[in-house]
Amino acid sequence: MLASTQPSSLVSQEIYTASSNATTSASSSNSTTNGENNVNTNNNLSECLTASSSTTPPSYFLLYYWTILYTYITNIFSKSTARLRRHSTGEHAYMAQTPVSTDTNNNINNNTNNNNSPQQPLRRSPRFKSKRQLQQQIASSSVDNISSPKAANSSIRLRNNSKQVHQSSMTSTQSFMMKTKTLILDLDETLIHSTSRGSRADAHMIEVMVDNHACLYYVYKRPHVDHFLKKVSEWYKVVIFTASMPEYADPVIDWLDPNKNLICNRFFRQSCTNRNGAYIKDLTIVEPDLSKVCLIDNSPISYAMQQENGIAIEGWISDPHDEALLDLLPFLDALRFTEDVRSILSLATY
C-alpha cells in the first residue's frame, strides 16, 4: 500500500512544483513587461492566479478582471462628462438669463413710466441734429485746421444746416407769437385823465391850440397803465380809438408810447359816428372781421353799434389805488386764444 501511494504523491508534488515554477515565471515576465506597476499587486495577482488555476479556467478570471477595469473607466468618464456638462449648462443659463431680466426690467419700467409719468416727447430722427449740436460741431471744425476741400465742404454744409435750423425756429416762434386779435382802447378816463387845472409837479403838461388860442392841459396816467400797455402789446395789435381831437390826442399817445412800439394805429373824432351829440365808434373801420376785435371803453355808448365786442371798465379820475387795468389782464390773456371773441363777450361774465 505504501509503495503504491508513494509515486502518486510524487507526481502531485512534481505537478505542484511545475505549476508553481510556471506561475513564478509568468509573474516574473509580467513584472518585466509592466515595470511601472507595484510589486505587491503583482504578488497578489500571482496568488489569485495560482488559487484559481486549480479550480477555474483562465478565461473566467480574465473576464472578471476586464469587467472591473471597464466599470472603473466608465465611472471616471461619466464623472468627467457630468462635470463638463454642468459647467457648460451653467454658462448657457447665465448668458440666457441676462437679456431676459433686462427685457423684463425694461417692460416694467416702460409700464410704470406710461402709467405714472407724463407722455414724453417724440425723439428726433438721428439725421436731424439740434441747434446746439450743430454749433458745437461748427466751433470744433473752426478750431481744427481744414486740410482738404472735402473738410471745407463739410464745414460749409454744417453752417448751412445751422442757419436752416435757426430760421425754422424763428419762423415757428413767430407763427406762435403771431398777433391775430385786435384790442381797441379808449383814451380819456380809460388810460389817462386830463384837466385844465392841476399841479405841475405830478402831471404831464400838453399845450393845445384851439381856435388860435393856446390851452394847457394837465394829463395824469391811470395806475399801472405802462405795465398794462406793455403786456397787451405782446398779445394783441393795440389801437387807440378816441373821440378827442388829434391836436390833443396825438401828444398824449406819444407820451404813453415814446418808443412807438406799443400802439399800432390811432383813430380820432373824425372816425366816430355822431348820433344826437354822442360819438359812437364803428369797429369795422379798425377790423372788418368782428370775431377778432374788442373795445375797452368806460362809456357803453361808444360800442353801441357792436355791443358784443365791448368790454366795460370803470372810469378813472384820481384814485391812486385803482387796479382795474390789472384785473383785466388775465381775462385778456385768455380771450386771445378764442376763435370768436363775441362768444365770450356776449355772456357778459367778465
Cα separation, 300 vs 73, whole angstroms: 114
Residue 55, all three cell numbers: 479550480
Q: Give the active site residue among 186, 319, 322, 327.
A: 186
Sheet containing 204-210, strands listed edge to edge, beginning at the edge strand earlier in sequence:
192-195, 213-221, 204-210
- Whether 188 sits among the annotated catalytic residues: the reply is yes
Rounded Cα–Cα distance for residues 172 and 177 (Å): 9
- Distance from C-alpha of 246 to C-alpha of 180, rounded to nearest angstrom: 27
End-to-end CA distance of the chain: 155
Give helix 149-176 / helix 131-143 axis angle, nearest 10°.
Answer: 150
Q: How many CB atoms lie within 10 A of CB 312?
A: 15
Task: Centre a 10 Å sphere on the Cβ of residue 263 and count the other Cβ atoms it contains.
Answer: 17
**Active-site annotation holder among 103, 188, 226, 254:** 188
8 Å CB contact between 345 and 293: no
- Whether 112 and 120 have beta carbons less than 8 Å apart is answered as no
**288 vs 238: CA distance, rounded Å:** 15
Which residue is it, cell 400802439? 263
Residue where the block lists cell 402789446: 233
> Catalytic annotation on 254?
no
- Neighbouring residues of 201: CB distance < 8 A, sequence distance ≥ 6: none
Residue 286 CA to residue 324 CA, distance in Å, equals 25
Q: How far is CA 160 from the centre of its chain?
A: 27
Nine cell digits for residue 27: 509573474
Show which residues are catalytic: 186, 188
